[in-house]
Structure 1
Amino acid sequence: MPSHHLPLLLAAFQYRFHRNLEAMSRHLVDDVAIGWDELGTDLLDGAPPALVAALTGGEKWPSRTLDNLITPDGSAPVRMTVTDDTADALDVQWGYILHAQGIEVISLLHQDCGPFVDWRTDPRTAFSDDPARWSSTAPPPLIRPPRAAAPQAATGTAAPARGVPARPAARR
């Protein structure tokens, strides 16, 4: 859900990976054999304590990968490409694609592309989880902007998705 994933991804980009998209992509995409079951608070390493507290309420949980999957026939699991058919079969509802300008958020139930959430967006921004509101022709649906901007984070901007994504990110 965007309300959970976007704050973690934005804060990870801004703090843990120091705005290095290649390092973040390696960690989230290349260094994981299969995919992600859950993104955890370890992505907030390096973020200011006040931001971590605002995003987690003081709770901590680890990121979990799907690397321990066992296939029905005992063969090694492999990473797959998610198409409309497989997304439906697996009940995948959201796609997150990392781009140079931000994260493209795709409601797989309603769209083939989505709006961009700018990497400068304050991670404390509250986003809607209503798939119908994530249209490629509209800005990301904010429930509530943050009360005060973080020192280095500006208010998020969005643009309609354009072109083919350069690198896929974890899909949920």
Structure 2
Amino acid sequence: MSTSSCIARPTQTGYTGIYVHLDGYPSSRLPLLLAAYQYTFARDLDAMSARLIDQVSIAWDELGTDLLDGAPKPLVRQLTGGDVWPSREMDDLENLDGSPAEREVITETSSGFIDWAYILHRQGIEVIGLHEAARGPLVDWNTDPRTRFRDSQRLWLPGHSVPAAQPPRTTRVPAAPMPASPATKPTARR
């Protein structure tokens, strides 16, 4: 049985996004999204959102290790156990009448059939256990992808801290590149 989720961007009323069929628990989804943001998309949230939400025909069957391209090999090994698999779209679906399925956008009002929502905010990922709450805590984009997140929806409630089972593993992994900031003049000392 699958654990369904959606990857979405915030709107004024809630969120809008795309369905993901497999591996929707925070323990598997968050490390992948954090590493993809920090390394593959070089902290470019717009590029990441476009790839995960806008460039999908109908829905995702699963998100794969191709989202870890550019991440340090030791980190990829820690997150995947050395396994490699591609992201796969659900592109072979059809309606009961035989016509091709159309893209179904997931929103806060149409998400009742899925388990988890991952909303890609500028500050981090809002994690919503949809059987327990309409909002959830925010996981900062700078969080170490090796953090072991807990999967109980009752722990992912608004106003609570992010439920991590343990601190991240201690194997050294190079830091993700930070965006360049404009040069500043040194201040004069008195």
- TM-score (normalised: structure 2): 0.74
* Conservation of the 8 A alpha-carbon contact between 1:114 and 1:136: yes
1:143 matches 2:161: no
Alpha-carbon deviation of 1:81? Answer: 3.8
Tell me the secondary structure at the aligned position of residue 152 of structure 1: coil
Deviates more, 1:137-146 or 1:61-70: 61-70
In structure 2, which of residues 126, 140, 145 is the aligned counterpart of residue 123 of structure 1? 145
* Conservation of the 8 A alpha-carbon contact between 2:72 and 2:173: no
- Inter-partner Cα distance in structure 2 for 1:95 and 1:54: 24
- Inter-partner Cα distance in structure 2 for 1:57 and 1:5: 15
* Conservation of the 8 A alpha-carbon contact between 2:72 and 2:174: no
Partner of 1:53: 77
In structure 2, which of residues 118, 122, 141 is the aligned counterpart of residue 100 of structure 1? 122
Partner of 2:38: 14
In structure 2, which of residues 119, 135, 155 is the aligned counterpart of residue 133 of structure 1? 155
Measured against aligned partners, the alpha-carbon deviations of 1:22-66 in whole angstroms (never above 9, x if no partner) come to 100110001002221111111110000000000011111111112
Larger radius of gyration: 2
* Conservation of the 8 A alpha-carbon contact between 2:59 and 2:104: no
Measured against aligned partners, the alpha-carbon deviations of 1:123-165 in whole angstroms (never above 9, x if no partner) come to 0001011011001111110011113374436xxxxxxxxxxxx
- The structure with the greater share of residues assigned to helix is 1
Closer/same/farther in 2, CA of residues 109 and 11 from structure 1, 3 Å limit? same
Which runs of 5 or more residues in structure 2 are unaligned?
1-24, 177-190
The count of aligned residue pairs is: 151
Alpha-carbon deviation of 1:82? Answer: 3.5
1:152 matches 2:175: yes
